[in-house]
Amino acid sequence: MADLVRFDVATEPRCPFALGRGALAELAQLESRYSSSFAVTDATVAKLHGQRIGLATRAHLLLPAGEAAKSFAHLEALLEAMARARLDRQSLVVAFGGGSIGDTAGLAAALYMRGIAVVQCPTTLLAMADSAIGGKTAIDLAAGKNLAGAFHSPIAVLADTDTLATLPAEQVASGLGEVLKCALLAGERELAFVEQHAESLRAGDSAALARAIEFCARLKASIVARDPRESGERKQLNLGHTFAHAIEHVAGYGRIPHGVAVGCGLALACAASERASTLADQELAARVRKILAHLGLCSSIAELEARYACTLDRAALVEAMALDKKNRSGVVRLVLPIAAGDVARDVFALPQDLRELLV
């Protein structure tokens, strides 16, 4: 097994993060500390990578792939399966898959017997770079994305980069939306890296992806340690997400991948920042649009509509943004870029302004 990148996320409990080829080999030793374990994955991951964790010989449940897993019906089915497997308070849930599997399995672990341990074993770029870290778990409601959830920190994250070799191009692109978000938050060095290596990242180059995952994971770990419950600084990680969650909701969950919607949301956030006179770096908006194009991502609602053969009703998008979790008193509050490494949080946005942005 190659040397792994290791660091701790200073949450409660402390969460070791291991990144690299063969990281999943550490799962067995970790499981030995628990009375039993139960794996949650989907059929695609089970077929491609199930042998890496001995899935065929362990208690497990297959959920649908993607956003379809994040429903009350599937959460209930998972909890019942955990009960049939006789999990107890010293048991461990193994979330083995992309962000949706991590979200649903993590929420089930938070609820079962009022909370049991979960280890996140992400198999997608998006999950390794973002969603597996920090303990946010959730399912979707008809009214909006991730509206029913809990904070439940994993006891470890094992990000085995060998699993990235089987990712479809669209899932690589989706992960790159979150990578670009993190680069914008981290600063000029990281943004320049994504800019200069956009073609390699898009092509799935393993070295470029590993470096991107590391800086994303370290950034998120440092922010989460300082603000585990998203009361202040952690809100910046929602850059682009108010737009993205509305896009996913209006398109129908699962039609437009999350990170693809985030990419478009970043371009819209830059446009909103220009409009609000918040953007100090006057070159940033055009730069972000150019990087998005090189990453194979969309920078406008019209581009998304053309690529995914859907209609994103502008009034419905504004209405969906009104249900964002960061809002107060019914007023949409955005995270807006100022420059690379600097953002403004809780910027009010009026419905009329939002409608004019959604082009």
258 catalytically annotated: yes
Q: Which of 60, 136, 152, 218 is catalytic?
A: 136
Q: Which of 60, 234, 249, 333 is catalytic?
A: 234
Q: Which of 60, 181, 220, 333 is catalytic?
A: 220
Close Cβ partners of 346 (under 8 Å, ≥ 6 residues apart): 235, 326, 333, 335
Question: Cα Rg for the chain, rounded, in angstroms?
Answer: 19
Close Cβ partners of 210 (under 8 Å, ≥ 6 residues apart): 5, 19, 20, 161
Q: Which of 230, 235, 248, 333 is catalytic?
A: 230
235 catalytically annotated: no
Q: Is 311 helix (H, G, I), strand (E, B) or coil?
A: coil
114 catalytically annotated: yes
- Give the chain's largest Cα–Cα span: 58
> In residues, how long is the chain?
359
Q: Are 102 and 132 in contact (CB under 8 A)?
A: yes
230 catalytically annotated: yes
Q: Is 60 helix (H, G, I), strand (E, B) or coil?
A: strand
Q: Are 88 and 67 in contact (CB under 8 A)?
A: no
Q: Please report which residue ranges of 32-151 form alpha helices under DSSP H.
A: 43-49, 72-84, 99-111, 125-126
Q: Which of 52, 197, 235, 245 is catalytic?
A: 245
Q: Which of 31, 238, 248, 249 is catalytic?
A: 238
Q: Which of 60, 145, 211, 258 is catalytic?
A: 258
234 catalytically annotated: yes
238 catalytically annotated: yes
Q: Are 40 and 95 in contact (CB under 8 A)?
A: yes
290 catalytically annotated: no
Of 190, 213, 238, nearest to 335 by C-alpha is 238
Token pair, residue 144, equals 């909006």
Taking residue 129's Cβ as centre, other Cβ atoms within 10 Å add up to 30
If you search the block for the tokens 């070295």, which residue do you land on? 207
Q: Which of 178, 190, 214, 248 is catalytic?
A: 178
Q: Which of 152, 181, 211, 241 is catalytic?
A: 241
33 catalytically annotated: no
Write out the catalytic residue numbers. Answer: 114, 136, 178, 220, 230, 234, 238, 241, 245, 258
